[in-house]
Amino acid sequence: MTMVGNPGADLPLPASPDIGQSPADPDPPKARLSAGQRLLEILPGLATWTVIAGLVILPTLVYPTVVVGAVIVIDIYWFVRSVLVTRGIRHTFQELKTEMAIDWYRRCLELPEPAWTDADGAAYDPREIYHAALIPTYTEKYEVLQATVAAWDAASYPADRKIVAIITRTTDIGGIENVKRLQEEFAGRFAHFWHVFDPLVPGIVVGKSAAMAYGGPVLHQHLDEVGLDARRVIVTDLDSDFRVHHEWLARVTWMYAQDRNRDFAIYQPVPMFHNNLWRVPAAVHVLASSSTQWQMFLHTRPQRLVTFASYSMSMQLVRDVGYWDPHVIQEDSRFYWRAFFRYGERLRVHGVPLPFYGDCPRARSWGTTHVSQYNQIKRWAWGVSDVPFVFLNMLTHSEIPLWLRAYKFMLLVFNHLMWPS
């Protein structure tokens, strides 16, 4: 394939305003929320504050022995939970050390040909799999974005099967200039380097999810134009400050080529917020380390693993799910739930023990850095708005076993009740 450095400066904009919509998507813009949906959004926060307030109020309402008993039970629960989490972290850490030392592209080339073939007889030759990084950015510093693209370039995978697509708003003049610089700097280093201009379609909730909802169809359109099969392109939803491990592309290819359920698979790395860990205040350092360790633990619990921050899947899956949701803030977890209600039991989130390196929140001063950290946690907390989305879909997707729907919903509510409490 011809190598091109700057073919995407004049990408056409999709005409349809229905970007990111899915037939199974009962979560409309906030202006059209029903009273029932609004109540479902309120309940998790109300339950959280009830737990917190109860710690103060309960001792004044019941006998002290009851309070002491409750405290003992809670202490035992958190002790057991801490032991399990610590064991999970140690297990994932050992896996990370092992997997990071393997030459995964060599293993791809050593796969026997029968391993490539799916149930329909279609062959998935690892040497024909492309990887596309879809990167939304807004007012990101050039140095941060350059490091992200450089890590993609340095990945141990053939350059002529790597694609980069960066999404900027049409109003982000600095971002547009940054992409132009990157296209010049990395000219000839990728099969394609596309620039997607997001006009901010009316009715969206401005943020990463809306940017991905716009960029996903544009990326698919251009893959079609250059003749690439959606089932042979793996798309990575890549945060603009995340750097992939150099074995990630080959590792996922190795799994994808052999997986007969590849069209229902999402590959989740271990996000590590380590890029600037020693340049942030102690409290931010602790929170970043805790977030990393929690994700390490979740990799030992695949039934609880939900897409977080950055992840990879086939372009076919992205298209079938209906791309991302432009009406929410939390793009990662909402994409998972859309995929779950599209595929049900067939959906698998594979925890891949390789890291993606991200930044801790950092601003110009000690105080504004803590404000940035708070805002990041607040964005994560917006995942609670998945509760009404999941509940309403539970009622309509009877093709998914009831026990699985109930189990997933209980995990969702429990997680959003416990971590802020």
Q: Residue 287: its pLDDT value, please?
A: 86
Residue with tokens 């600095």: 174
* Cβ-contact 417, 48 below 8 angstroms: yes
Total count of residues recorded for the chain: 421
- The confidence band for 39, taking pLDDT boundaries of 50, 70 and 90, is confident
CB burial class (10 A; 0-12, 13-18, 19+) of residue 1? exposed
Q: Which residue has the higher pLDDT, 347 or 123?
A: 347
| Domain range annotation of the chain | 81-370
Return the ∠ at Cα 130 (arms to 139 and 147), rounded to 5°: 30
Q: List the one residue out of 310, 312, 313 whose CA is nearest residue 356.
A: 310
- Alpha-carbon distance of 131 to 155, in angstroms, equals 11
* Residue among 402, 61, 62, 8 at smallest CA distance from 186: 8
Q: Is the pLDDT of residue 21 over 70?
A: no
Under 8 Å between Cβ of 186 and 168: no
Task: Give the Cβ contact number of residue 82 at 10 Å.
Answer: 10
- Asked whether residue 388 carries a pLDDT value surpassing 90, the answer given is no
pLDDT at 421: 62
Task: Give the pLDDT score at 18.
Answer: 42
**Residue 414 confidence (pLDDT):** 82
- Residue 364 confidence (pLDDT): 82
Task: Indicate the CATH number for domain 81-370.
Answer: 3.90.550.10
Give the residue among 325, 149, 115 at the shortest CA–CA distance from 236.
Answer: 149
pLDDT in tens, 101-155: 999 999 999 988 777 776 666 778 899 999 999 999 998 999 999 999 999 999 9
Q: Which among 313, 259, 347, 367 has a CA at the least distance from the CA of 24?
A: 347
- Ranked by mean pLDDT, the top range of 60-64, 151-155, 206-210, 382-386 is 151-155
Q: Residue 58: its pLDDT value, please?
A: 74
**What torsion, rounded to 10 degrees, do the Cα atoms 317, 321, 326, 328 define?**
-100
> In the chain, pLDDT over 70 holds for what percent of residues?
90
Phi, psi for residue 255 in degrees, rounded to 5: -70, -45
Per-residue confidence (pLDDT) for residue 33, from 0 to 100: 54
User: Confidence class of residue 80 from pLDDT cuts 50, 70 and 90?
Assistant: very high
Is the pLDDT confidence value at 42 over 90?
no
Q: What is the pLDDT of residue 3?
A: 37
Q: Is the pLDDT of residue 88 over 90?
A: yes
Say what the pLDDT of residue 121 is. Answer: 66
